[in-house]
Structure 1
């Protein structure tokens, strides 16, 4: 029980409230009324650098914090609007520029947060003397946090945040996207400052930034969770995660205020315009373009429920002198709307939450550090990169159509036929690229890249054609060579049959063999034929000579002892003697090269054609004729011997 301190006794609750107010007063009084940098651009003008001064400011804010972040195009009056909300002239607030270049660079915090509940410093001053003897410095950070949570959201600190306007020249689009995404992630109230009206590009840019923020936050949380397993996460971050284990792992979206500056248009109110802009577009015909618009609105569905529209009249016609003009010379409607805006901002700026728990300044500082690191590590798609990706997709489709056209050709095929198909497919692919590609800057490079891709695909198809042709022609060649080997072993040799069989095989080879392997396989087959014909010719002459010699001797024996025909016997002996003597008449030249032997070969081939039709089946007929002739002669002799007398 606390004793008297210069006054009547108070209840413990009163002492606690007084102590809390004193702590708030001490913290607020310690802040400086000036802009403090939180994030500045690196020299590359595409990535961000967190500033220690801004992090120190966030870490010094006790209890829940409600960042009010304003974003929008450059030269739309963001800094001036924040100064109006703070009630400060331009010389004492955020820097306001009147040139064609951006005044604000990066993200800046106002160095003196404002109590959201509006009690302000006066409440703290009234309670200061009453708790002077309590030693306020002894309260720990955890106790302060519990006290703030007990008092609710009215003691949250409103922290006004100014950002660099996007769409200015000399900056990478990815830089604007990083600023936009970080602003959307850190804000309790995101003020989208737009001149005159809301455009579809404004909605698309917001959708892209929100999706970007969600993706990078999830990535930073995964990396942070991995680091926590090795003890690399600070205590405040662990505390926030431990409180939100039942959450879904995402930052709850804050409120959004669509602030339309210089509103002079008639029709819908600003709030009605916001609801109409974020509503799905009717698309009964399932148009692809409208489906893309509805996908953008679907990504903003959660944010749309927390969106409010508000408009401000142009405060004065001389916009370059706004910082110098007093309130009594400003448009009265604007002054009234400005005061309404102050109350609306305080009501919408609920404390920033993570997993359902309000974020303190130190927690927010940790979140911003992780987000900036994640945003810098990953490349962000820009309009140029998206255009390049679209053109790469067009190039891929052109190459795919070309490959499909070549694949439709049944292999193997002659090279000129494949080349004709390739030229037609190439022309179609290049024409398709010319028709679908967007932009002229990379047209030549894209065409060159496509030509290289088509050439690679063509070489692959040529290789496949060569392999298929080689397989087919080799099979046909092997069949012909096998048949030549079989013809070498004919029972009755016939040169005409040997040549006619090869000619038939060669005809089949010529008709069925196709493709680039036809010529080399045909050459190999021709060489095989030359070798086989030379070997067959020598064996053919030797076998024919031996056969004639044996046949003449056999005929002499038959006509001598079995069928007595003296004339035929003499002819057989004469043929036998001729065959024995004739080779000796040509000691220098080969007997097989003489005209006589050529005539003999010609007669043999005629006999083979007449009696055997180039195959050995005629032997059966010859044997049958001989048997019949011998039988008839024997029967005739028996009749003559058994006759009368």
Structure 2
């Protein structure tokens, strides 16, 4: 066993130890140089040369090669236990994110903020359960789960922005429809408070049902202001338009009762209405005072019943009805006039030459 021992001691190279680095081999002890060469031979016989790509490396080349290996290890280019776990968990993270995206994409935007948050929580829990079931390693689990949470938050923020955009787009469309409808109700040919209230209610209900998402609160405020402004404007113009229509209607009925139908009671009733409307405003200096009169309220109730009811919408059919009534009035006037003319003409019976009167000279 002693023959296989390679241990031996080196003598002191020189007495001046502080200057050893500056001395050449000629200045050192010959015995030291001899034993040093023996050590080199022993070391060379014990190790094998480093061969890379079929070429033996010398000392400088080996040092350079070792530096390249260390740099590759630091960059993660050479697989290690930690890097293998990280790669394996990365594939699991991708599958978990894919599952989360699939669950979130099932949502038909826009939806309310609470509903979107609930769907996000359910999809997030499902993705975490999948990760807990498939992840590998313990030391890298915390880092991987934090990365998964961060990626899911990014996806959720994108869905939140998309939800806000779709909600604004939908609510803007419903708001524009209601605004157009209110403008149409302002320009009714025959003013009707009942029709305006029905359109107002339908518009408000459709907006509440169809406008959803984070933009609903903002558009609700805009909707309330727009509807209040439209109602105030309609009420302001309603009585004036109705007054003008009633005056026109009374004049038309006077003409029809006197010249077309020649119906005395109809003409008298039309004159009474016309005189009441014109005289009242002249006596009290303003037509606005008329609107507080109980008789005016009765007239308004009758007008609303005739103009807008479940059977007939006069505003939609007023032109066809006027055309038909005009045609019937002209037809009745012409036919009735001919019959009356026929009754006024004398009727002669018998032949022209015959006469019962005796002939005289």
Q: TM-score range by the shorter chain?
A: 0.7 to 0.9
Q: 1:564 aligns with which of 251, 255, 262?
A: 262
Please say if residues 612 and 619 of structure 1, whose CA atoms lie closer than 8 Å, have aligned partners that are also in contact. Answer: no
Whether 1:473 aligns to 2:359 is: no
How big is each residue's C-alpha offset from its partner over 1:151-181, in whole Å with a ceiling of 9 and x where there is no partner? Answer: xxxxxxx66438xxxxxxxxxxxxxxxxxxx
How big is each residue's C-alpha offset from its partner over 1:3-22, in whole Å with a ceiling of 9 and x where there is no partner? Answer: xxxxxxxxxxxxxxxxxxxx
5+ residue gaps, structure 2, are 10-36, 347-361
1:112 equivalent in structure 2: 40
Q: How many residues align?
A: 312
Q: CA deviation at 1:431?
A: 1.8
Q: CA deviation at 1:604?
A: 1.3
Q: 2:325 aligns with which of 616, 625, 629?
A: 625
- Residue pairs, 1:45-444, within 5 angstroms: 89-92=5-8, 112-113=40-41, 160-161=46-47, 187-188=50-51, 251-252=52-53, 353-354=54-55, 359=56, 364-378=58-72, 379=74, 380=76, 381-441=79-139, 443-444=141-142
Q: CA deviation at 1:88?
A: 5.1
Alpha-carbon distance in 1 for matches of 2:323, 2:263: 19
1:525 equivalent in structure 2: 223
Please say if residues 414 and 514 of structure 1, whose CA atoms lie closer than 8 Å, have aligned partners that are also in contact. Answer: yes
2:275 equivalent in structure 1: 577
Alpha-carbon distance in 2 for matches of 1:585, 1:398: 84
Change (3 A) 1:426 1:618: same
1:592 equivalent in structure 2: 291
Please say if residues 109 and 163 of structure 2, whose CA atoms lie closer than 8 Å, have aligned partners that are also in contact. Answer: yes
Change (3 A) 1:89 1:543: same
Q: CA deviation at 1:549?
A: 0.9
Which has the larger share of strand? 1
Please say if residues 110 and 163 of structure 2, whose CA atoms lie closer than 8 Å, have aligned partners that are also in contact. Answer: yes
Q: CA deviation at 1:581?
A: 2.4
Tell me: higher relative CO, structure 1 or 2? Use CA pairs within 8 A at least 6 residues apart.
1
Which has the larger share of helix? 2
Whether 1:543 aligns to 2:237 is: no
Q: CA deviation at 1:443?
A: 4.3
How big is each residue's C-alpha offset from its partner over 1:371-424, in whole Å with a ceiling of 9 and x where there is no partner? Answer: 123223331443234334434543443333223211222222233332332222
TM-score (norm 1): 0.43
Alpha-carbon distance in 1 for matches of 2:141, 2:198: 62
CA RMSD of superposed structures (Å): 3.5
1:640 equivalent in structure 2: 340
2:304 equivalent in structure 1: 605
Change (3 A) 1:481 1:110: farther
Q: CA deviation at 1:561?
A: 4.1
Change (3 A) 1:401 1:636: closer
Change (3 A) 1:454 1:110: farther
Change (3 A) 1:586 1:447: farther
Q: CA deviation at 1:465?
A: 1.4
Alpha-carbon distance in 1 for matches of 2:91, 2:275: 91
The 3-state SS of whatever aligns with 1:387 is helix
Q: CA deviation at 1:447?
A: 4.0
Alpha-carbon distance in 1 for matches of 2:292, 2:140: 77
The 3-state SS of whatever aligns with 1:493 is coil
Please say if residues 85 and 140 of structure 2, whose CA atoms lie closer than 8 Å, have aligned partners that are also in contact. Answer: no
Please say if residues 110 and 161 of structure 1, whose CA atoms lie closer than 8 Å, have aligned partners that are also in contact. Answer: no
Please say if residues 171 and 216 of structure 2, whose CA atoms lie closer than 8 Å, have aligned partners that are also in contact. Answer: yes
The 3-state SS of whatever aligns with 2:316 is coil
Q: CA deviation at 1:491?
A: 2.2
Alpha-carbon distance in 2 for matches of 1:111, 1:583: 133
1:269 equivalent in structure 2: none
Alpha-carbon distance in 2 for matches of 1:385, 1:594: 91
Q: CA deviation at 1:546?
A: 0.7
1:312 equivalent in structure 2: none
The 3-state SS of whatever aligns with 2:47 is strand
Please say if residues 167 and 215 of structure 2, whose CA atoms lie closer than 8 Å, have aligned partners that are also in contact. Answer: yes
Alpha-carbon distance in 1 for matches of 2:326, 2:245: 18
